[in-house]
Structure 1
Amino acid sequence: MGSFTIAIIQQPPVFLNLAASLEKAERLVRAAAADGGHVIVFPETWLPGYPVWLDESAGAALWGHPPAEALYRILLQNCPHLDGPEIARLADLAAELSVEIVMGIQERRGSSIYNSVVRLTADGWRDVHRKIMPTYNERLIWAAADGSTLRPWASAHGPVGALICWEHWMPLARAARHHHGEILHYALWPAVTELHLLASRHYAFEGQCFVAAAGTVLTRTDVLDGFDSIGLNEPSARAMLEVIPADHELLKSGGSAIIAPDTSLIARADPGVASTLIASIDPDIVAEGKLYLDTAGHYSRPDIFELHVDTRERPGLKFEV
């Protein structure tokens, strides 16, 4: 299969501004491709930015709270549809540059938002995974997905796949992905803290695969400047962001990493520094670790354990003639 190069974008979007973030993404992809990146990975919900007010703003969970309602409306308006022009533009970019783009998005489906990752390949293939369980306060704005996106993804180098944030602590979700025989796993996080790095390194060993753990750097200033760049006269929504404490300037610290199947760090970005992390991996070595551990094969004990994964789409509404 041969080695190839991964680039992880540890830079902030233009917060909540979908159009400006898309333009920035294109610049970053072009730069990463020029530096030799074959696979270019963005963090969780990079388009149009992780909803930090859920963790940082007092009143985010209050019922009937006008600032929270207004901010949700603006967020929804700036979330891309999977079949919309923004994702199509990224697909065209992947084809033009002969690269693979892995993008974390807040995906608009109807009037609900899903935490999703979309993979766009140079030959026009489009894969998506939606987070099956939003974590804690994330349930205020994100819907829980069905199992239809827990399917394997094919690539020229071998199977790849993705999970988002705390899905890495769902043992059965990990088992489903390991069954696909990933040679490379995309672990998307808002930031790769030490706890998130621990989960990513554990995944690499348990799955005997490489892991690209992607996290962004985001400051309070980025949040307010991004909101202002939209050009809306929405003081109530801005107030939801202004109450983020001034001493919480660094909201997301980055810490992205590229991890080998033996858990060693091939490369790690400096925390707090907006940058692009680039390193090469050799998928041929994945087979070596399977000598000792193959949780989907010789180490699985199917005579004792069995996992059933329902990959049917569950729209909740069917019209029958």
Structure 2
Amino acid sequence: MGDSYPVIKAAVVHAASEFLDREKSTDKACRLIEEAGAQGAQLIAFPESFIPGYPFWIWTHTPTRGAPLFAEFFANSVELDSDCVRRIGAAARKAGAYVVMGVTERDGGTLYNSQLYFSDTGELIGRHRKLQPTHVERTVWGRGDGKDVVVLDTAIGKLGGLICWEHTMDLARYALTSMGEQIHIAAWPGISALTHDPNSGFFNDVTASAARHHALAGQTFVLNVQSCVNEQVIEKLGLQGQEDMIRVGGGWSAIIGPNGLFVAGPHTETETILYGDLDMQQIVYIKYICDSAGHYARPDVLRLLTNFDAQPVAEQVGEPSSGLPADFKSAKPQREESPDGEGTVSGG
């Protein structure tokens, strides 16, 4: 009979965060996971930095004006060993679905733009940090490294993802293709809200082109998921009535097949959950035409070198010490009796 190919029901969450509030954003994420799970979704994808929200002020404020917002952003960011992560895992387990959650991750004094991957049993099974924050994003986020190039082999297929402008990094995309990616989560913010004219189309057109091209070039399903902007964001930024800078709405979300055609969407402007069936056999038909990391590759001419190593800021050789010579013997303070019988301490 041969192998059979499953059909996976996927969900894309096009929604605004509870801006700069980790706990309320987590509450909302859990509600949306529950809703999508009740509709039978086996895979649920969220936008870039859904918890605690995308730092839109980096495009609208000077660094000085944005500093208080960054402080709030930092305080509401997500650590891996945290109640936030455990709650998302519990929601995934209850829904019986894989979940890919966009977060701003805090590690020490640095923030990272990350995607967290949860299994349908609620386990945190993977993390991708954005390799290179884009433009002024470098004022709030650090860089990922080789360990953040991730494709996870799961019961529903091989899952990978990239964040926003990483989709212009052709070598990063090809690295995922060479690792056998079958379902790609493309997470973005609703940057199209940073324009007065919702029909101007530039950022949405860029997103659509990037997502559809990766689907065909990588022979993978693409879950393109973006956030949108609500009044809460604009109020927090202090930009009410300044639609020339930021407006309500935005975003472009869709599910795209490996042939580059739409499975669901696209959807813009308002909050919704898109659903689509991923017929994994479709990948076979596109691989027949162009298996980009297989029979359609030319490694004798073009080959990719991928470094999966972490790049730590410090490397330890030997054991840490006090800085004193190894044979140094500290003089112990001597205890003497004072005339009144009280003990005193003197140097040796």
State the AA in 1 paired with 2:227.
Answer: T
Is the 1:254–1:269 Cα contact (8 Å) retained in structure 2?
Answer: no
Q: Report the equivalent of 1:201.
A: 212
Deviation at 1:269, TM superposition (A): 4.3
Q: Residue 270 in 1 paired to residue 240 in 2? A: no
**What CA distance in whole angstroms lies between the structure 2 residues aligned with 1:268 and 1:194?**
14
Is the 2:38–2:95 Cα contact (8 Å) retained in structure 1?
Answer: no
Is the 1:56–1:244 Cα contact (8 Å) retained in structure 2?
Answer: no
State the AA in 1 paired with 2:313.
Answer: G
**What CA distance in whole angstroms lies between the structure 2 residues aligned with 1:28 and 1:212?**
16
**What CA distance in whole angstroms lies between the structure 2 residues aligned with 1:270 and 1:151?**
28
Q: Deviations over 1:100-120 (max 9, x none)?
A: 111011111111111110110
State the AA in 2 paired with 1:31.
Answer: E
| Identity within the alignment, % | 32
Q: Structure 1's 252 and 110: CA in aligned 2 closer, same or farther, altered over 3 A? A: farther
Helix, strand or coil for the counterpart of 2:162? strand
Deviation at 1:98, TM superposition (A): 1.1
Helix, strand or coil for the counterpart of 1:256? strand
Q: Deviations over 1:197-217 (max 9, x none)?
A: 110000000001110000011
**What CA distance in whole angstroms lies between the structure 2 residues aligned with 1:84 and 1:218?**
27
Is the 2:34–2:94 Cα contact (8 Å) retained in structure 1?
Answer: no
Q: Deviations over 1:279-309 (max 9, x none)?
A: 1111122111111111111111111122111
Helix, strand or coil for the counterpart of 2:268? coil
State the AA in 1 paired with 2:176.
Answer: R
**What CA distance in whole angstroms lies between the structure 2 residues aligned with 1:263 and 1:85?**
38
| Match among 105, 111, 114 for residue 112 of structure 2 | 114
Deviation at 1:182, TM superposition (A): 1.4
**What CA distance in whole angstroms lies between the structure 2 residues aligned with 1:254 and 1:151?**
25
**What CA distance in whole angstroms lies between the structure 1 residues aligned with 2:45 and 2:282?**
22
Q: Report the equivalent of 1:55.
A: 59
Is the 2:228–2:270 Cα contact (8 Å) retained in structure 1?
Answer: yes
Structure 1's unaligned 5+ residue stretches are: 228-240
Q: Report the equivalent of 2:50.
A: 46
Is the 1:254–1:274 Cα contact (8 Å) retained in structure 2?
Answer: no
**What CA distance in whole angstroms lies between the structure 2 residues aligned with 1:168 and 1:201?**
11
Q: Report the equivalent of 1:216.
A: 227
**What CA distance in whole angstroms lies between the structure 2 residues aligned with 1:113 and 1:88?**
19
**What CA distance in whole angstroms lies between the structure 2 residues aligned with 1:303 and 1:251?**
51
Q: Report the equivalent of 1:73.
A: 71
Helix, strand or coil for the counterpart of 1:266? strand
Deviation at 1:181, TM superposition (A): 1.4
Q: Residue 139 in 1 paired to residue 149 in 2? A: no
Is the 1:190–1:252 Cα contact (8 Å) retained in structure 2?
Answer: no
Moved over 6 A (4+): none
Q: Report the equivalent of 1:232.
A: none
Q: Report the equivalent of 1:171.
A: 170
Is the 2:167–2:210 Cα contact (8 Å) retained in structure 1?
Answer: yes
Helix, strand or coil for the counterpart of 1:4? strand
**What CA distance in whole angstroms lies between the structure 2 residues aligned with 1:224 and 1:92?**
32
Deviation at 1:96, TM superposition (A): 2.1
State the AA in 1 paired with 2:21.
Answer: N
**What CA distance in whole angstroms lies between the structure 2 residues aligned with 1:243 and 1:12?**
17
Is the 2:207–2:252 Cα contact (8 Å) retained in structure 1?
Answer: no
Q: Structure 1's 176 and 44: CA in aligned 2 closer, same or farther, altered over 3 A? A: same
Two-structure CA RMSD over aligned residues (Å) = 1.6
Helix, strand or coil for the counterpart of 1:44? coil
Relative contact order (alpha carbons < 8 A, sep ≥ 6): 1 or 2 greater?
A: 1
Helix, strand or coil for the counterpart of 2:68? helix
| Match among 304, 308, 326 for residue 307 of structure 1 | 304
Deviation at 1:224, TM superposition (A): 4.6
State the AA in 1 paired with 2:48.
Answer: E
Helix, strand or coil for the counterpart of 1:173? helix
**What CA distance in whole angstroms lies between the structure 2 residues aligned with 1:93 and 1:161?**
21
Structure 2 matches for 1:245-260, cutoff 5 A? 246-247=242-243, 248-250=245-247, 253-260=250-257
**What CA distance in whole angstroms lies between the structure 1 residues aligned with 2:184 and 2:223?**
6
Structure 2 matches for 1:96-111, cutoff 5 A? 96-111=94-109
Is the 2:92–2:119 Cα contact (8 Å) retained in structure 1?
Answer: yes
TM (norm. structure 1) is 0.89
Deviation at 1:89, TM superposition (A): 1.2
Is the 1:81–1:107 Cα contact (8 Å) retained in structure 2?
Answer: yes
How many residues are paired up? 300
**What CA distance in whole angstroms lies between the structure 1 residues aligned with 2:249 and 2:314?**
38
| Match among 35, 42, 51 for residue 39 of structure 2 | 35
